[in-house]
Structure 1
Amino acid sequence: MQPIISLRFVKERSPMSHEISRRTFVQSSVASLAAASVVGSLAYAAEPKDTWIELFDGKSLAGWHKNPTKIGHGTGGIWAVEEGTITGEQDPPGSGNGGILLTDRKFSNFELLIDLKPDWGICSGLFLRANDKGQCLQMMVDYHDAGNVGQIYGEGTGGFNTRAFDIDGEYDAEKKHIGYKTSKHKTAEEVGLVYSCTPEAWVKTWKIADWNTARVIVEGKYPKITTYLNDVKICEFDGEKSTAARYDKEKVLEQLTAEGSIAVQVHGGGNWPIGAKCRWKNIKVRELS
């Protein structure tokens, strides 16, 4: 907005008074323009740390990229926007060729909200502080028999696994997936977590064939990661103190550094059902100090 400058005409009494009046007008104008410049610059200042940033516009993959070179899961997978959601599948479907889709922007300490709707039988993941090589701290989205959704895995960073229980499908007479049972129950301490929900709590909160909301908080040099599904706390991992097998905090820090992309995954290999997809929407993040 242009500054509004009020002009006050002064009756000329002498050359000296005229010069003073002119000088006063110029000084006042410069001050007004400077003030307007400051106001204008504030409009383009970086968003405050507690501001939510939308990572997906619901229409395009602007701000995202596939892994630029081949990684362990493949050359990238197929990523598309369908009905306002990001969808991922193998390329071509059922080929075993997967990959990851990463945010261009990198984050260190943050809170993330994301809705997910995986087809039963897929193996996906939510990558935290990820790099283009596919290395990350992963919230598992292993949505299949002997799988887990919500606990932490070291993708390309030692392969440590904090899975406190497995989920397995229950099926009706027509082999339709209708529910879950759980197995291989362990305590949080046994798998290197500070906290793990009970298997019963997970089964109760997860919605079959529907959207589920994940909330993830990542903080610290050796990150503390807390995950929630539909407002139920799933796990708490402390990267400073975790005793998870194969976890090496210094090696993980060296591989990932203290910031990275947020990414979603299509797992490579032959177990991904032909035609199955992972789906993501309502993706937003706020940076934490």
Structure 2
Amino acid sequence: MKRISIVIVLILLVSAVACKKAENTDTETAPKEEVKEVVSAEAPLNGLSAEEEKDGWMLLFNGTSTDGWRGYKKDHFPAGWKIVDGTIMCEGSGRGEAGAKDGGDIIYDKVFQNFHLKLDWKISKGGNSGIFYLGQEELDFIWKTAPEMQVLDNVNHPDAKLGVDGNRQAGSLYDLIPAKPQNANPFDEWNSIEIIVYKGTVVHKQNGVNVVEYHLWTPEWNEMVANSKFPALNAEWADVASKGLIGLQDHGDDVWFRNIKIKELD
């Protein structure tokens, strides 16, 4: 009886070893699954994606250099602006539009006509700034010649409650058309905007949503300007140029800009 038991045990052991060997052989000969590299289509911070490069986008700020930028009606980049952690930052002077001694608005030194502009902005608590387009250097301030997309802390800056129907809040065509829906993020949080200008048609996008649309040089445009806060400038200001400069405003408050890029439209 013992002899039979031993034989059975040996048979079982031999079977187990054979099965294990067969299992290992199957594993070794099984084809390996192909691993495909995943390439992100998103653009890097202050950079262009491969698709954007192919599509003709131009980077206006690379996160480290002020190349292409200078002060409005100046031949240098003002000391009141800094490159900080991959952003163009205006250091607040606490003096509002009077600004710092060597501050003031800045412009990119190239004229654009039909274009699609993108950038991100972040404002300090109670802060105010703006993004100008189609600006000229004929007068003492760019705001006297250019439409402005408002940059604002809607909660803490009093300008948010002035004007008409919220037309001085973030994303608005300043003092003319309110951004609707009003979807700006609070102070110290980033907002992404787009401004599209094409043969007089202008669109403001804020955080992925169309918030303003209007048409330059029309009777409706002239009427809006006539009812704005700048009556002394109405005749000149209404006649916005068909091409001009991109500008960022020094309104005396801390404000940050990044991911500034543009595509010229045919």
Q: How does 1:242-257 map to 2 (within 5 A)?
A: 242=221, 243-246=223-226, 251-252=236-237, 254=239, 256-257=240-241
Count of residue pairs the alignment pairs up: 184
Aligned partner of 2:211 among 225, 234, 259: 234
Report the residue type matching 1:145 in the other structure: P
| Cα separation, partners in 2 of 1:288 and 1:50, compared to 1, 3 Å | farther
- Is 1:63 the counterpart of 2:63? The answer is no
Output the CA distance in 1 between the equivalents of 2:187 and 2:127: 14
1:116 aligns with 2:121: yes
> As a proportion of its length, which structure holds more helix?
2
Distance 1:77 1:224, change over 3 A: farther
Match of 2:158 in 1: 145
Q: Does 1:260 align with 2:231?
A: no
The corresponding residue for 2:50 is: none
Judged with a 3 Å threshold, the aligned counterparts in structure 2 of structure 1 residues 111 and 250 are, in CA distance, closer, same or farther, namely farther
TM-score normalised according to structure 2 size:
0.61
Matched, 1:94 2:94: yes
Cα distance in 1 between the residues matched to 2:237 and 2:197: 15
Structure 2: give runs of 5+ residues left out of the alignment: 1-52, 161-168, 228-232
- The one-letter code sitting in structure 1 at the alignment partner of 2:264 is E
Deviations along 1:175-228, whole A, 9 cap, x unmatched? Answer: xxxxxxxxxxxxxxxxxxxxx52xxx424x5255211100111121xx221111
Structure 1 unaligned segments of length 5 or more: list them: 1-47, 70-74, 154-160, 165-195
Q: Partner of 1:53 in structure 2?
A: 58
**Matches of 1:288 and 1:249, distance apart in 2:** 29
* One-letter amino acid of the structure 2 residue matched with residue 282 of structure 1: N
Question: Which of the residues 166, 186, 189 maps onto 1:210?
Answer: 189
In structure 1, the residue matched to 2:134 is: 129
Task: Could you list the structure 1 runs, at least 4 aligned residues long, displaced by more than 2 angstroms after superposition.
Answer: 93-98, 205-209, 240-243, 247-254
Alpha-carbon spacing, 1:246–1:279, altered in 2? closer, same or farther (3 Å): same
Q: Distance in 1 between matches of 2:89 and 2:263?
A: 23
For the residue of structure 1 that corresponds to 2:182, the secondary structure is helix
Contact 2:83 2:89 in 1 (8 A): yes
Q: CA deviation at 1:142?
A: 3.3
Q: TM-score, length-normalised on structure 1? A: 0.57
